[in-house]
Amino acid sequence: MATPELVPGLAGIPAAESSISYIDGQKGLLAYRGYSIEELAEKSNFEEVSRLLVHGELPTPEEHERFSALLRENRGLSERMLDVIRALPGNGHPMDALQASMAALGMFSRARDYRDPAQRDEAIVRIIGAMPVLVAAFERFRSGEDFIPPDPSLDTAANFLWMLTGEKPDPLAARVLDVALILHADHTMNASTFTARVVGSTEADPFTVVASAVGSLTGPLHGGANERVLRDLETVSGVEEVPDFVEGRLATKGKLMGFGHRVYKVKDPRAVILQGLARELFEKLGRTPLYDVAVRLEEEVVSRLGHKGIHPNVDFYSGFVYSKLGIPVDDFTPIFAIARTSGWLAHWREQMQDNRIFRPGQVYSGEHGRSYVPIDQR
């Protein structure tokens, strides 16, 4: 039982004042800068949403054009950066490669001082522009393929698919990925965003802030869940096996990946939209047999744990979208990171406008007043 002062995981404890995104966990609502996620998913695009998150307002046509052009101008990787990524072990996880290459990218950049508005804004577009390129470069190298340079005629989502395959993406595939990036772009004070704010509060540079947040997102309780969902589903032979699978996982006090949330106590609104996107892709590209298992799994888990507020979260259906787009399973979390970079940088910028270094307290439960005992007397 936690002592009165201690709140495990800081559950519900405000760590900052923010105007970037808002969640209503009981009603299943999410909004970025006051605009509902449903409306943004339907009417906006990832590059516009990224600028909205960072600067707070929907851009004018000129502002949107300028921001998109800056993102395209900032996709380039030097030969030395490509050598860094080539040198990473191909059997390593793409999230580890992303964390390492983001830190290295910062070493090559001069835009590191948040106090200089020009450097701050330069770092923001450099990091958002380069993230997809870092992910695609590692994917190509570990597959024994050559790097495919970014195509300036394509927006962020379409260019990412281009850099993975060297083929201009199907418009539906590009649009679906663009919406998935919108859905993952921000989510109030989640663990990786909190990490970004903590590291930023020490006045570390923005590349280090993002590399730290990538590390936090790697964990299977956070961003890494989307990869685990598909791997879990692959162990279930058919819908008739689902009850035993759930029973087995719960009997060992295990977690069902893609379910539950610290804030949402109903189905994550992003899961609702991602499920719809998955079905849209199935109509065009063919159904995935695992999808029926997933729908049955949702029914089974909600029937057993729904009373505890456990429902599908953003990670439960995202994997169906990404695998239908031909994206390798262990690249799912890097895609989450590509999207969330806009949120991390929006929070970093907000934190630095009125910064105080994070330094929480603790409840001490250790010993007091002990005297040293020489080792030959122990």
Catalogue the active-site residues.
261, 315
DSSP 117-129: HHHHHHHHHHHHH
Identify each DSSP E strand in the chain by its residue range.
21-24, 29-32, 35-36
Between 164 and 339, whose beta carbon lies closer to ligand SDX?
A: 339
| Residue from 106, 138, 101, 104 nearest 122 by CA | 106
Q: Which residues bind ligand SDX (CB under 6 A)?
A: 9, 187, 190, 221-222, 225, 255-262, 308, 310, 313-315
The structure tokens listed for 82 are 């490509």
Q: Which two tokens stand for residue 164?
A: 């993975």
CB of 181 to ligand SDX, least distance (A): 13
The CA dihedral of 313, 26, 56, 157, to the nearest 10 degrees, is 20
The residue among 142 and 228 lying less far from ligand SDX, judged by its C-beta, is 228
Residue in the shown chain whose Cβ atom is closest to ligand SDX: 260
| Cα–Cα distance for residue pair 145/180, rounded to 1 Å | 26
Let me know: does 210 contact 345? Beta carbons within 8 Å: yes
Our CB check for ligand SDX shows the closer of 158 and 337 to be 337
Angle (CA) 363-364-368 rounded to 5° is 160
To the nearest whole angstrom, how small is the minimum distance from the Cβ of residue 135 to ligand SDX?
Answer: 18
Please say which residue, 138 or 344, places its beta carbon nearer to ligand SDX: 344
Least distance in angstroms from the C-beta of 188 to ligand SDX: 7
CA torsion angle 79 98 56 181 (round to 10)? 110
> Nearest approach, Cβ of 218 to ligand SDX (angstroms)?
11
Nearer to ligand SDX, 10 or 154 (CB): 10
Question: Which of 238-246's residues contact partners 24+ apart within 8 Å by CB, and which partners?
Answer: 238/293, 239/292, 239/293, 239/296, 241/293, 242/293, 242/296, 242/297, 242/300, 243/300, 245/297, 246/297, 246/300, 246/301, 246/304
Q: Taking Cα atoms as reference points, which of 179, 92, 209 lies closest to residue 139? A: 92
7: number of Cβ within 10 Å: 12
Supply the minimum distance, in Å, between the C-beta of residue 367 and ligand SDX: 29
Cβ proximity to ligand SDX, 44 vs 190, nearer residue? 190
- Residue closer to ligand SDX, measured from CB, 159 or 193: 193
Query: How far apart, in whole angstroms, are the C-alpha atoms of residue 265 and residue 261?
Result: 7
Q: Taking the complex as a whole, how short is the minimal distance between the CB of residue 182 and ligand SDX, in angstroms?
A: 12
- Provide the β-strand partners of residue 32: 21, 35
